[in-house]
């Protein structure tokens, strides 16, 4: 088939994209396209199998490079103020429990400015999937130090090197007790896709961290001149493991960033706790209960 015919045919995932918004604003070599691809393939699969209706999905993003994603996907969504994607998504769920909110945002938005919302959503086992892109800095605003920036790294706010210890966000959420917690990197798009397929249609709080490359800002600041250099540097430290305890999970840019599934439970989520207390008419219809029954079979 000629190249022109192939272009005219479009991409199989175009049905889930607002193609009129493309090309996107992400820099060449940015890892966010890989994250988006894994997410769309997982959604496409779940819709094709009848597990989820795409009309139920609401993609909520915060501020930052990742925040642009809600404008590119052809799903209901919202682009919310900095750090407030999680409370907005909780509002969506409480306002219409038949909907399935998915938060996709960056590490600064989720773990720093919105850090308290993350902790309490996990504590409540809120019925919500959060996918956090971790690009190791505040990229969109110019490369400031973020909660995940490696110690010693140059950023625009730490010109002599970062004096702080970083957050291991996935390990923290696993310690609080969300139902599903995993960390992947953009080097493993298939594992990420499988993880999203597993985490999306289930109850309770689900959290997937995606360690991503920001070659334009973080990479240049720490001395990597091209996207492949940063990609390869990161690939050297990411390691897939099956941790037996929280202490086996490592987040160290010099030694190891542990990847894998850190928690995989099926405890009742917040919405079911509400339904145990109140007999709301919608309690019979919340998708999480249907999925929990399917998982239990």
Q: Which is nearer to ligand SF4, 85 or 140 (CB)?
A: 140
As measured in angstroms, the least distance from the Cβ of 49 to ligand SF4 is 32
The angle formed by the CA atoms of residues 148, 149 and 153, to the nearest 5 degrees, is 165
As measured in angstroms, the least distance from the Cβ of 129 to ligand SF4 is 21
Say which residues have a Cβ less than 8 Å from residue 273's Cβ, sequence separation at least 6: none
How far is Cα of residue 200 from the mean position of the Cα atoms in its chain?
A: 11
User: Do residues 107 and 134 make contact, with C-beta atoms less than 8 angstroms apart?
Assistant: yes
Say which residues have a Cβ less than 8 Å from residue 244's Cβ, sequence separation at least 6: none
Task: Give the one residue of 73, 75, 217, 222 binding ligand SF4; rule: CB under 6 A.
Answer: 217
214 is a site residue for ligand SF4 (CB under 6 A): yes
Please return the burial class of 9, using the count of CB atoms within 10 Å of its CB with bins 0-12, 13-18 and 19+: exposed
The angle formed by the CA atoms of residues 94, 95 and 96, to the nearest 5 degrees, is 95
As measured in angstroms, the least distance from the Cβ of 216 to ligand SF4 is 4
The region of 26-34, 39-47, 156-164, 203-211 touching ligand SF4 under the rule CB under 6 A is: 26-34
- Measured CA to CA, the distance from residue 197 to residue 175 in angstroms comes to 23
The region of 90-98, 213-221, 234-242, 254-262 touching ligand SF4 under the rule CB under 6 A is: 213-221
- Tell me if residue 228 falls in helix, strand or coil: helix
> Which positions from 105 to 144 touch ligand SF4 by CB under 6 A, shown as an x/- string?
------------------------------x---xx----
Interface size with ligand SF4, residues (CB under 6 A): 12
Say which residues have a Cβ less than 8 Å from residue 236's Cβ, sequence separation at least 6: none
Please return the burial class of 54, using the count of CB atoms within 10 Å of its CB with bins 0-12, 13-18 and 19+: middle
Torsion from C-alpha of 208, 92, 31, 82, nearest 10 degrees: -110
28-47: contacts with ligand SF4 (CB under 6 A) = 30, 32
Task: Give the one residue of 114, 147, 201, 215 binding ligand SF4; rule: CB under 6 A.
Answer: 215
As measured in angstroms, the least distance from the Cβ of 72 to ligand SF4 is 13
182-211: contacts with ligand SF4 (CB under 6 A) = none
Q: Which is nearer to ligand SF4, 38 or 135 (CB)?
A: 135
As measured in angstroms, the least distance from the Cβ of 23 to ligand SF4 is 12
Q: Which is nearer to ligand SF4, 80 or 212 (CB)?
A: 212
Footprint of ligand SF4 (CB under 6 A): 26-27, 30, 32, 65, 135, 139-140, 214-217
């Amino acid at each position: 088939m000629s190249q022109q015919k192939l272009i005219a045919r479009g991409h199989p995932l175009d049905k889930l994209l607002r193609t009129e918004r493309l090309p996107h604003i992400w820099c060449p070599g940015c890892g966010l396209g890989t994250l988006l691809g894994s997410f769309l393939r997982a959604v496409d699969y779940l819709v094709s199998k009848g597990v989820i209706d795409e009309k139920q999905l609401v993609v909520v993003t915060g501020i930052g490079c990742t925040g642009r994603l809600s404008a590119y996907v052809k799903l209901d969504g919202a682009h919310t103020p900095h750090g407030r994607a999680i409370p907005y998504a909780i509002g969506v769920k409480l306002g219409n429990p038949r909907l399935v909110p998915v938060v996709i945002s960056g590490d600064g938005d989720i773990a720093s400015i919105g850090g308290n919302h993350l902790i309490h959503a996990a504590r409540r086992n809120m019925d919500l999937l959060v996918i956090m892109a971790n690009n190791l800095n505040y990229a969109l605003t110019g490369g400031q130090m973020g909660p995940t920036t490696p110690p010693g790294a140059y950023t625009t706010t730490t010109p002599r090197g970062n004096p702080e210890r970083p957050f291991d966000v996935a390990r923290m959420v696993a310690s609080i007790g969300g139902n599903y917690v995993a960390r992947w990197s953009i080097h493993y798009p298939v594992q990420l896709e499988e993880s999203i397929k597993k985490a999306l249609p289930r109850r309770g709080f689900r959290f997937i961290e995606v360690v991503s490359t920001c070659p334009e800002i973080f990479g240049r600041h720490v001395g990597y001149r091209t996207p492949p250099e940063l990609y390869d540097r990161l690939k050297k430290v990411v390691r897939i493991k099956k941790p037996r305890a929280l202490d086996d999970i490592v987040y160290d840019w010099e030694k190891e960033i542990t990847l894998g599934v850190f928690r995989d439970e099926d405890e009742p989520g917040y919405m079911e706790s509400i339904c145990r207390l109140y007999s709301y008419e919608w309690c019979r219809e919340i998708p999480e209960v249907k999925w929990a029954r399917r998982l239990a079979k």
